[in-house]
Amino acid sequence: MQMKRSASFGFAIVLSSCAGAASPLVPNLCRLMDQPMYCRCDGDDYADDATDVSCYITRPLTADHVVFKSFQNHLSLVSLTFNAFDLKYKLSFVPSEALKQCAQLERLKFTQSDLGVLKTHSNAITELEPDSIANIPRLKRLELGDNKLTKVPAGALRELPALAQVFLERNDIRSIEDGAFADLRNVKELDLSDNAIETLSARTFEGLSRVVRLDLFRNKVRRLEARTFSALPALVELDLKYNGVAEVDPLAFEGLPQLSVLYLSYNRLRILPAHMFRGAPNLVTVDLSQNQLLTLTWRSVQDLSKIRSEAFDMSLTGNEFMCDCRLAWMLYLENATRNEKFRRELRHVKCSFEQTPPGNMSSSGTKVARLSLRQLGCPDDYAPPDLPSTTRAKKVSTACPYERRLRF
């Protein structure tokens, strides 16, 4: 059943059944009298099989008021709208217990509500329609996790000036339309983890200029396109673990000067482009572990301005590095880093002199830190990485590992 759109909140929804027995003390939803809420029902106002109901709040109303028990006698309800009869009597809560009575409910709307937190998780919601969550000026937190959403359409979330947190985790979201979040200018946290998102573009996160944390853990993103996150200049933490990412555009992280934490572990990365972090130079935590990296060149990481600082840490274990001169920079950085944890990490990075099938990295590979420049196949005129000038890098010998002595 299609309903006229207004500044409202509404979505296709299925709720679990929890019907109770009729009681003479429970008023009839379609003929409420002298109550803080009255409702108009389609068809016979005295029937219990109304499918389309509009309710109006006329006086202050609490979640435990008896009027909400009247829903237990209307199990055929398909469409339900809550309206504020007067602007001073806005509904400030979601009557969740009452809605559980309505197993057939498909469409629910709130107009001119005064909600601060909207929780509709674990309700099998399947669809967000245009203007479905809109004009709720005090809404600060939106929780739509553990539902069955498959798409976030453009225009579904509008006129929500106070909204700061959006949780859409554990749905089945496969696509996000360009501009879907364009009106969420004050959101600071967006959780899209445990979905099935496949494609991200430069317009996916348009409008989210104040987001500091974006969670995309466990989705199906295979490639990070150029400037995918450029609409998020305030982003501090980005989680992309368990996505199957196999390819990264050199400009994927362009425009992220505040980004300090990046999780890219448990993906399918094999080679990273040069200057990959030029747009995110202030990273202090980079997790590249448990990928299929065959190499990691100095050109890929040289733009990380804090790479030798005490705060910087990078996880690299669990990859499939080939033992060659492209890894030689690790020998120098092991000496230069001020972070003991990072130094230990570099000492445990392994490589192989023979390429192994993807996913079959031998646990007996050789530790890079135990190899010399000569063993890595570096030429005699090999130029060490250009570490910050304040670093007094220890000399790395071309001799065998047990012959070389590293010193300032």
CA-to-CA distance for 58 and 178, rounded, in angstroms?
Answer: 39
The region that residue 55 occupies, defined by phi over 0 for left and psi between -120 and 50 for alpha, beta otherwise, is beta
pLDDT of residue 251: 98
| Single-letter residue type at 296 | L
Instruction: Collapse the DSSP code of 184 into the 3-class scheme (helix H, G, I; strand E, B; otherwise coil) and give the result.
Output: coil
Question: pTM of the entire structure?
Answer: 0.77
The region that residue 304 occupies, defined by phi over 0 for left and psi between -120 and 50 for alpha, beta otherwise, is beta
pLDDT of residue 128: 82
Please give the residue range of the domain that contains residue 1: 1-114
| Single-letter residue type at 54 | S
CA-to-CA distance for 24 and 324, rounded, in angstroms?
Answer: 83
Q: Which residues of 374-389 are buried (b: 16+ CB within 10 A; e: fewer)?
A: bbbebeeeeebbebee
CA atoms within 13 A on the CB side of 203: 8
pLDDT of residue 379: 96
Q: Are strands 117-119 and 107-111 parallel, antiparallel or unpaired?
A: unpaired
Lateral strand order in the sheet of 141-143: 117-119, 141-143, 165-167, 189-191, 213-215, 237-239, 261-263, 285-287, 313-315
In a domain? residue 98: yes
CA-to-CA distance for 263 and 261, rounded, in angstroms?
Answer: 7
In a domain? residue 53: yes
| Single-letter residue type at 300 | S
Nearest CA-CA partner of 81 in 49, 105, 65: 105
In a domain? residue 88: yes
Instruction: Collapse the DSSP code of 69 into the 3-class scheme (helix H, G, I; strand E, B; otherwise coil) and give the result.
Output: helix
Residue with tokens 């008021």: 65
Decide: residue 141, CB within 10 A, 0-12 exposed, 13-18 middle, 19+ buried: middle
DSSP H or E run through 96: helix 96-99
| 229 contacts 205 by C-beta, under 8 angstroms | yes
In a domain? residue 20: yes
Residue with tokens 């673990």: 241
Radius of gyration of the chain (CA): 29
Distances 297 to 135, 195, 300, 384, 395 between C-alpha atoms, Å? 50, 32, 5, 12, 19
Decide: residue 259, CB within 10 A, 0-12 exposed, 13-18 middle, 19+ buried: buried
In a domain? residue 50: yes
Count of domains for the chain: 1
∠ CA 245-247-253 to the nearest 5 degrees? 90
The region that residue 146 occupies, defined by phi over 0 for left and psi between -120 and 50 for alpha, beta otherwise, is left
In a domain? residue 81: yes
| 53 contacts 73 by C-beta, under 8 angstroms | no
| 282 contacts 274 by C-beta, under 8 angstroms | no
Q: Average pLDDT per run of 10 along the chain, which is 408 residues long?
A: 37 37 68 89 70 88 89 83 74 76 72 67 73 83 91 93 97 97 97 98 97 99 98 99 98 98 99 98 98 98 96 97 98 95 97 70 80 96 79 50 34
| 396 contacts 390 by C-beta, under 8 angstroms | no
In a domain? residue 334: no
In a domain? residue 307: no
